[in-house]
Amino acid sequence: MVFGINEVLFALSLSLLAGLATGVGSFLAFFAKRTNTRFLSLALGFSAGVMIYISFVEIFPSGRELIITDFGSKLGLMIAVAAFFGGIALAALIDRLLPHCENPHEFHQLDDMGHGGCRRHRHHHLECQKLFRLGILVAVALAIHNFPEGLATFFGALNNIHFGIMIAVAVAIHNIPEGMAVSIPVYYATGSKRQAFLYSFFSGLAEPVGALVGYLVLSPFLNNTILGIVFAAIAGVMIFISLDELLPAAEEYGEHHLVIYGLIAGMAVMALSLLLC
């Protein structure tokens, strides 16, 4: 299965834009006097709703149909289901391999740390070193997490430009608090907005890198079955991200009902957009 250069470049650009939302999170952390946790909770719930709906309604069915084309209904469905749970297992493995305190989805209250405190209080040198190390480790962990998310955005856009855009929007919302999680400890440790922003910014570049590496590795072998397996696995990755990361983080930031309202709104917007396209 061959894709045109314009299709590949567009899918790659979507992955890039979604990844760079970490920089948006970093920027907001610096210039907002106080994090609007209610809005953030609603937005994360919305992102989860988009991902869950599109995974079950579009991405997994598309993958299943591609595999069925080569293997028939029964075996094709079995392969698709195996790929789906394989994607979940991959996302869970990446999550488990990261130490708890360096996991970018183990959110901290962003206002608890203040801004530039170590620069004003030099005697807290050891604390500053620990915070700086935490920020760097979160950036590395975030880059690892962003690889499968980059693949999801990229291959989603290759399959259907319209819902590729929706995946990119959902992933971008998801990346905003992650950018905050990188930049806040680095800024607090160094007092440098520029340095904190750059660490956050470059951690987001792992998404287009993951998309490009995935495409280069898989492109010589792409056919209906391989592409179908990739889609089914990506659906699994997105479901895991939604249930294990987005929804718990949204609950931590805000009220339960706000999370549910955001979740339903994300599903409704995704459903409406698919009906209208």
The least confident of 110-114, 163-167, 214-218 is 110-114
Query: Is 90 exceeded by the pLDDT of residue 51?
Result: no
Give the mean pLDDT of 123-150.
Answer: 68
The least confident of 124-133, 157-166, 258-267 is 124-133
Query: Is 70 exceeded by the pLDDT of residue 120?
Result: no
**Does residue 191 come out as left (phi exceeding 0), alpha (psi in the -120 to 50 range) or beta?**
left
Please report, in angstroms and rounded to a whole number, the separation of the first and last CA atoms in the chain: 24
Nearest to 166 by CA among 179, 152, 147: 152
Give the phi and the psi of residue 124 in degrees, each rounded to 5.
-90, 45
Hey, where are the domains in the chain?
Answer: 5-276
| Full-model pTM | 0.71
Give the mean pLDDT of 94-119.
Answer: 54
Give the mean pLDDT of 54-72.
Answer: 91
CA distances from 7 to 11, 160, 165 (A): 6, 10, 13
CA angle 18, 241, 230 (to 5 degrees): 75
Query: Is 50 exceeded by the pLDDT of residue 45?
Result: yes
The DSSP secondary-structure symbol of 115 reads: S
Name the CA radius of gyration of the chain, rounded.
Answer: 19
Give the pLDDT score at 36. Answer: 61
Give the mean pLDDT of 218-244.
Answer: 87
Give the mean pLDDT of 79-100.
Answer: 86
How far, in whole angstroms, is CA 169 from its chain's centroid? 10
Collapsing DSSP to helix, strand or coil, 61 comes out as: helix
Give the pLDDT score at 157. Answer: 85
Nearest to 2 by CA among 212, 219, 228: 219
- Mean pLDDT (the chain) is 79
Percent of all residues in the chain with a pLDDT value above 90, rounded to a whole number = 18
Give the pLDDT score at 80. Answer: 97
Give the pLDDT score at 225. Answer: 92
Give the pLDDT score at 230. Answer: 87
Q: Assess contact for 8 and 164: CB atoms under 8 A.
A: no
Give the pLDDT score at 191. Answer: 75
Query: Is 50 exceeded by the pLDDT of residue 37?
Result: yes
Q: Assess contact for 244 and 73: CB atoms under 8 A.
A: no
Amino acid identity, residue 96?
A: R
Confidence of residue 215 (pLDDT cuts 50, 70, 90): confident
